[in-house]
Structure 1
Amino acid sequence: MFQKQRIFIFSGLFFCSIAFSQHSLFSLSDDYIVKKYSQRWELDSIDKHGTFRLMSYKPIYLAPARWSSKPNDQPYSENPDYSVDEAKPYNSIETKFQLSFKTKVIQGLFNNEGDIWLGYTQKAHWQVFNVKLSRVFRELNYEPELIFMYPVSFSFLGGKFRTIGLALNHQSNGKDLPTSRSWNRIIFNLGYENGNWLVSFHPWIRLKDDEDENPSITKYIGNGELNAAYTYNRHQFYAIVTHPFNHLKCGSMQLNYVFPLKGHLRGHVQFFDGYGETMIDYNHHQTTVGIGISFSDW
Structure 2
Amino acid sequence: MKFEKLILSSIVSFIFFQMSFSQNQPKANQHRIIRKSFSQQWELDSIYKKGTFRLVSYKPIYITAGRWTSKTNKFPVSENPDYTSEERQDYNNFEAKFQLSFKSKVMQSIFWGCGDLWIAYTQKAHWQVYNKKLSRSFRELNYEPEIILNFPLNKPLFGGKLRTTSIAFNHQSNGKDLPLSRSWNRIVFSLGYEIGNWDVIFKPWIRLSDEEDENPLITKYIGNGELDLSYTYHNHEFNTIITHPFNSLKYGGMQLNYVFPIEGHLRGHVQAFHGYGETLVDYNHSQTSLGIGISFANW
Describe the superposition over 1:36-80 as per-residue Cα deviations: whole angstroms up to 9, x where unpaired.
100000001111000000000000000000000000011000000
Q: Distance in 2 between matches of 1:34 and 1:135?
A: 36
2:255 is aligned with 1:261: no
Contact 1:74 1:88 in 2 (8 A): yes
Q: CA deviation at 1:217?
A: 0.1
Q: CA deviation at 1:113?
A: 2.2
Contact 1:268 1:291 in 2 (8 A): yes
Q: Distance in 1 between matches of 2:191 and 2:130?
A: 40
Instruction: Go from structure 1 to structure 2 and tell me whether the alpha carbon gap of 1:225 and 1:276 turns closer, same or farther (over 3 Å shift).
Output: same
Q: Distance in 2 between matches of 1:34 and 1:156?
A: 21
2:46 is aligned with 1:45: yes
2:209 is aligned with 1:208: yes
Describe the superposition over 1:73-111 as per-residue Cα deviations: whole angstroms up to 9, x where unpaired.
110000000000021210000000000000000000123
Aligned Cα RMSD in Å? 1.0
Higher helix share: 2
User: How is 1:180-199 mapped onto 2 (pairs within 5 angstroms)?
Assistant: 180-199=181-200
User: How is 1:133-172 mapped onto 2 (pairs within 5 angstroms)?
Assistant: 133-172=134-173
Identity of aligned residues (%): 67
Residue 99 of structure 2 aligns with which residue? 98
Q: CA deviation at 1:176?
A: 0.6
Q: In terms of mean alpha carbon deviation, does 76-85 or 103-112 score higher?
A: 103-112
Residue 12 of structure 1 aligns with which residue? none
Residue type of the partner of 1:34? R
Q: CA deviation at 1:241?
A: 0.4
Q: CA deviation at 1:33?
A: 2.2
Runs of 4 or more, structure 1, over 4 Å off, are none
Q: CA deviation at 1:256?
A: 0.2
Q: Distance in 2 between matches of 1:212 and 1:67?
A: 30
Describe the superposition over 1:231-276 as per-residue Cα deviations: whole angstroms up to 9, x where unpaired.
1111000010000011211000000000111222110000000000
Give SS of 2:82's match.
Answer: helix
Describe the superposition over 1:191-245 as per-residue Cα deviations: whole angstroms up to 9, x where unpaired.
0001211100000000000000000000000000000001111100001000001
Contact 1:43 1:113 in 2 (8 A): no
Residue 175 of structure 2 aligns with which residue? 174
Q: TM-score, normalised by structure 1?
A: 0.89
Contact 1:125 1:139 in 2 (8 A): yes
Residue type of the partner of 1:81? D
Residue type of the partner of 1:136? S
Contact 2:35 2:298 in 1 (8 A): no
Q: Distance in 2 between matches of 1:33 and 1:179?
A: 41
Contact 2:129 2:136 in 1 (8 A): yes
Q: Distance in 2 between matches of 1:297 and 1:75?
A: 33
Residue 34 of structure 2 aligns with which residue? 33
Residue type of the partner of 1:248? L
Contact 2:31 2:261 in 1 (8 A): no
Q: Distance in 1 between matches of 2:249 and 2:298?
A: 29
Q: Distance in 2 between matches of 1:288 and 1:116?
A: 35
Q: Distance in 1 between matches of 2:93 and 2:34?
A: 36
Q: When the two structures are aligned, how many residues end up with a matched partner?
A: 270
Q: Distance in 2 between matches of 1:248 and 1:266?
A: 35
Contact 2:69 2:289 in 1 (8 A): yes
| Max Rg structure | 2
Q: TM-score, normalised by structure 2?
A: 0.89
Q: Whose relative contact order is higher, 1 or 2, with alpha carbons under 8 Å and at least 6 apart?
A: 1
Q: CA deviation at 1:164?
A: 1.0
Describe the superposition over 1:110-148 as per-residue Cα deviations: whole angstroms up to 9, x where unpaired.
231210000000000000000111111000000000001
Q: Distance in 2 between matches of 1:238 and 1:297?
A: 10
Unmatched segments (≥5 aa) in structure 2: 1-29
Describe the superposition over 1:151-180 as per-residue Cα deviations: whole angstroms up to 9, x where unpaired.
011111110001111100000000010000
Residue type of the partner of 1:158? G
Describe the superposition over 1:15-39 as per-residue Cα deviations: whole angstroms up to 9, x where unpaired.
xxxxxxxxxxxxxx94212211000
2:285 is aligned with 1:284: yes
